[in-house]
Structure 1
Amino acid sequence: MHRLYSIMIRLHEGIFMVGSGKHGAQLTHSIDCNVFVLDGGGGEFALIDAGGGVEPERIVANMERIGIEPGQIRYLLLTHAHGDHAAGAAFFHERYGMQVIASKEAAPWIENADREKISLNAAVRAGVYPADYEFRACPVERQVSEYDEIVIGSTVLRVLDTPGHARGHIGFMMERGGRRLLFGGDSVFAGGKVVIQNIWDCSIQDYAATVAKLQQLRIDSLFPGHGVFLADEAWKHIDLAHGYFERLEIPPNL
C-alpha cells in the first residue's frame, strides 16, 4: 500500500509534473520516468510520456490533485518507446481515450509491443525490469517526424529528432515569450549528463549529433525524462554535454 502525497507540482506556466520514479522526484512508481501534463490553453491538455505502466493510477491521482481530470487530456506524446516512458500508454489510451503520438520509427514497435525493438528483453535480462514486466500493445494515432507541429490549444510544439539514447527518440519544443522550452525525454539532463546503455538502439555517434543540435538551439528550460527540471539557462547544461562529445569523451551517465 503506497501513501499518495497531495502535492501540486507546477514547474512552469501550464506545465505540471504528475509522475516521477526512482531517478527523479519519486512521486509515483519507481519505474516511472518524469511524466508531465501540458495545459495548452483553450481547454486542451497533453500528457508527455506515460510512465512504466505499473500502478498508473498513482499518476492519475496526481492529475486529479492539481484539478485536471484525465478525461480532459486529449493527447499523449511519447518521446520514445522504452518501457519506463511508453508502457503506460495502453492504460491511458484504453481508460481515457488519449490519442497517442509517437515518432514514425517507434510507432510500429509500440503498436506491436515489440520487446526486441524497444530493448525490453535486454532490460529484463539486466534486471532493469522484473521478469514478469509487461508492455501492452497500444495504437498510435499519429506518427510524426522532424519539424512536424503538434497543436495543443493555443500552444504549438515542434518535433525534434533526438536519437542517441534510443532509436525513434524525439523531443517536443515550444516557445513562450522568446524563450525555448524543451520536453527532452532521455536526450540530455541537468549537469550535462546523458544515458548511454549497452543496447542495440543506443548510439554514441547519434547521441553526439543530437546534443550538438540542441546546443545550437540554446534551450532556456528543460523538462527531462528523469532527474530535476531546469527552469532557466538549460543551455549551459547542454553545453557541458556537448563539450564532452567535442573532446571525443563521453558525458557522465545519469
Structure 2
Amino acid sequence: MRLDANVDLVGGGRLGAGLSNAYDSNVYLLRGADGAWLADTGSGLDQEVLLARVREALGDLPLRGGVLTHAHADHAGGAAGLAALGTPIIAGARTAELVRAADPGPLGLDAALRAGIYPPGYRFPSCPDVLTPDAADLGPLRELPAPGHSADHTAYLFTAGGTTYACTGDLLFSRGRIVLPGAADADVQELRRSLERLRDARPDVLLPGHGTPVMADASWHIEQALAAFDLGRLPASFT
C-alpha cells in the first residue's frame, strides 16, 4: 500500500490494514537514496505473505536492512526469517539481546500467550545475528530512544524528500493514543519523556506500529498525548 513516494505499508494485522498475518504489527518499507529499509518485521507467522508484499514494493531497489522498534513478538518475531534470507537486522542493544536469546519470559511472550494475545503454540524464533546500531550502517535512519511501552523501545527517524518520518512502534498512535503499558518493564513516566523527545524531533509524519499512519501534522497527535498527561490522566488506550 503506497503511502507516498518514500514509504509503503507492506504489512499489518488485525489492528492495522489486514495486509498480512492477523498477529503482525504494521511493517513499513522506507525508500532511501541507495536502497530500502523495513521498519519492524511482523510476527513471523505466514511470513511469505509479507515477503511477497515487500518484493512487490521493492521493485529493483535493494533491501538494505530492517530495524526493530522493540522485541514484542508482533514487531520482531519475523526477524529471524528475514535474516535467514540475508537481510541485516538492526536493533537497540536491549532489543538485540532479547531477540538473540528468544527467551519467552523476558520477551513477555509467556504472559502474552496466557492472555491469548498470540495463538497457542506460537514460538519466537531466535535471531542470533541481529546487529546493534554501533556495529551497523543505519543509512538514512536515526535512533530515537523511546522507552515506556517497554524498557527496550526505540523509535526511528527517517528523512527523505524534505520530509521527516517517525517510525513510532508502540510509543504513539494516531489521535494521541497510546497502549497503556502492561509489560513488567513498562514505565508510564518514561513513556511521557519519550513523547517529549519525539515532539522535540519535530517529525512531519507518524508511522505507528498499529492503526492508521499520520501523513501530515504529526505534532498535533504528539501534543494530544502530552496534553492528556498534563491534565492528570493517561491518554486512551489504542485498543
Query: Shorter-chain TM-score: which interval?
Result: over 0.9
Q: 2:32–2:160: 8 Å Cα contact kept in structure 1? A: no
Where in structure 2 are the equivalents of 1:1-254 lying within 5 Å?
Answer: 9-42=1-34, 44-68=35-59, 72-94=62-84, 96-144=85-133, 150-152=137-139, 156-176=140-160, 178-254=162-238
Percent of pairs identical after alignment? Answer: 33
CA deviation after TM superposition for structure 1 residue 184, in Å:
1.0
Q: 1:119–1:201: 8 Å Cα contact kept in structure 2? A: no
- Give the secondary structure class of the aligned counterpart of 2:37: strand
The whole-number CA distance in structure 2 between the counterparts of 1:225 and 1:35 is 7
Q: CA RMSD in A?
A: 1.9
The whole-number CA distance in structure 1 between the counterparts of 2:177 and 2:111 is 23
Q: 1:49–1:78: 8 Å Cα contact kept in structure 2? A: yes
CA deviation after TM superposition for structure 1 residue 203, in Å:
1.3
The whole-number CA distance in structure 1 between the counterparts of 2:103 and 2:73 is 11
- Give the secondary structure class of the aligned counterpart of 2:90: strand
Q: Which amino acid aligns with 1:104?
A: A
The whole-number CA distance in structure 2 between the counterparts of 1:12 and 1:143 is 29
CA deviation after TM superposition for structure 1 residue 38, in Å:
1.4
User: Which ranges of structure 2 fall in alignment gaps of 5 or more residues?
Assistant: none
The whole-number CA distance in structure 2 between the counterparts of 1:19 and 1:176 is 21
CA deviation after TM superposition for structure 1 residue 67, in Å:
4.8
Question: TM-score, normalising length from structure 1?
Answer: 0.88
Deviation string 1:178-222 (CA, Å, 9 cap, x unpaired) is 542111111101010001242202211111111122122222101
Q: 1:77–1:100: 8 Å Cα contact kept in structure 2? A: yes
Q: How many residues align?
A: 238
User: Which ranges of structure 1 fall in alignment gaps of 5 or more residues?
Assistant: 1-8
The whole-number CA distance in structure 1 between the counterparts of 2:149 and 2:129 is 21
The whole-number CA distance in structure 2 between the counterparts of 1:144 and 1:114 is 22
Deviation string 1:140-183 (CA, Å, 9 cap, x unpaired) is 442137xx99543xxx2110000111121111112345542111
The whole-number CA distance in structure 1 between the counterparts of 2:108 and 2:91 is 17
Q: 1:20–1:226: 8 Å Cα contact kept in structure 2? A: yes
